[in-house]
A and B are shown apart, each in its own frame.
Chain A
Amino acid sequence: MSSSPGRDRLLASLRRPGSRGQITAAVLLAVVGFASVVQVQAQERNDDYEGMREEDLVQLLNSLASASQRAENEIAELEQTRSSLRSDTDSRQAVLKQARERATVLGILAGTLPAVGQGIVVEVKDPQGNVGIDQMLNGIQELRNAGAEAIEVNDSVRVVAQSALEDGEDGIIVDDTQLSPPYLLEVVGAPRTLAAALNIYGGFVADVEDPSIGGSVSIEESQNVEIATLAEVPEPEYAEPVEPE
């Protein structure tokens, strides 16, 4: 089998270097080798974005921008939700606080909560047994007019809006509780005003100390009047609250 002339030429050139053509080829091959190596290394060094085309980069940038836009929109939405939830909670708590305060105030006024505060202690002595509901009603009325917030008689009855007074055999009856003199009224309110209301000309004190009654009244202002007795509040049987529109 004879070898082809092409292969012979190749072997001959390998054995006998130095022709002009070979030198030219060597130079160009050196250029190719150099360029290939440079390109391969640049490719290996490349991170994701280096060497990308301008249009690809622009597209990438656009998609990133729209993604961040979407994320920002989402953030804004969530923040709005959060703030609305927070204001919801805040307003609910405010309403709750208001309702509690109101319940406390109403509880004191209705006699369902014990009360403490400044006020007066009134002792009504009735040696002749003449003090009756005329005088007591008068006194309680005057105390209420003067802004009494809680009234207790003889440490056993809380006087509230529904309280009823009657004359008993041995004294007065407040809300079915028989009381006997001396009567001790503990009143929470502004002490000066309350005392002045009782001492007014022709008022409770003058009434009780009238010679025909023969009683005596001593009023003591106190910074710490404690009222522990509670009134029973019956469920309204006939009245119903009107729902506000």
Chain B
Amino acid sequence: MIAGLGLLVGIIIGLMLQPEVPLWLEPYLPIAVVAALDAVFGALRAFLDGIFDDKVFVVSFVSNVLIAALIVYLGDKLGVGGQLSTGVIVVLGIRIFSNVAAIRRHIFHA
């Protein structure tokens, strides 16, 4: 309940403030958002499995975002930023799909 409210509040704050993305953050934000989504779906799946732990959630969330940003940064430095970003998105996308599939099985038994 509170979790859903938190999501809503975040969206509303974003819509109301409409902040400019700082230039240094611009390449990292999209990857970081996808990585965070992965962490969120992973947490939801853990919750449904009965093994949810808020510490694990926080740590996985932060590390996901940091590692995604690090990979993009490294890729930019190595000159393969575009390809590495694509790779990260693909991997995270696959994880999100498998997590969502597990969640779906829990909720709909299908």
CA distance A17 to B39 in the complex (A): 21
A29 CB contact (under 8 Å) in B10, B21, B27: B10
CB distance from B48 to the nearest CB of A (A): 3
Q: Which residue of B lies closest to A53 (CB)?
A: B81
Bin the interface of chain B by size. Answer: 35 or more
Residue pair A22, B33 in contact (C-beta under 8 Å) = no
Question: Inside 8 A of B2's CB, which chain A residues have their CB?
Answer: 17-18, 22-23, 25-26
Bin the interface of chain A by size. Answer: 35 or more
Q: Which residue of B lies closest to A55 (CB)?
A: B79
Say yes or no: A38-B29 contact (C-beta < 8 A), given A10-B47, A28-B61, A30-B13. Answer: yes
Q: Which parts of B1-50 form the interface with A (CB within 8 Å)?
A: 1-11, 13-15, 18-21, 26-27, 29-30, 32-33, 36-37, 39-40, 43, 47-50
Q: Which residue of A lies closest to B39 (CB)?
A: A28
CA distance A15 to B18 in the complex (A): 33
Number of A-B residue pairs at CB separation under 8 A: 127
Say yes or no: A7-B54 contact (C-beta < 8 A), given A26-B3, A29-B10, A35-B33. Answer: no
User: Is there a chain B Cβ closer than 8 Å to A212's Cβ?
Assistant: no
Residue pair A33, B8 in contact (C-beta under 8 Å) = yes
Q: Which parts of A32-78 form the interface with B (CB within 8 Å)?
A: 32-39, 41-43, 51, 53-56
Q: Which residues of B contact A (CB under 8 A)?
A: 1-11, 13-15, 18-21, 26-27, 29-30, 32-33, 36-37, 39-40, 43, 47-50, 52-54, 57-58, 61, 76, 79, 81-82, 106-107, 109
Q: List 8 A-B contacts (CB under 8 A).
A: A6-B47, A13-B47, A17-B1, A22-B2, A25-B43, A25-B54, A28-B39, A36-B37
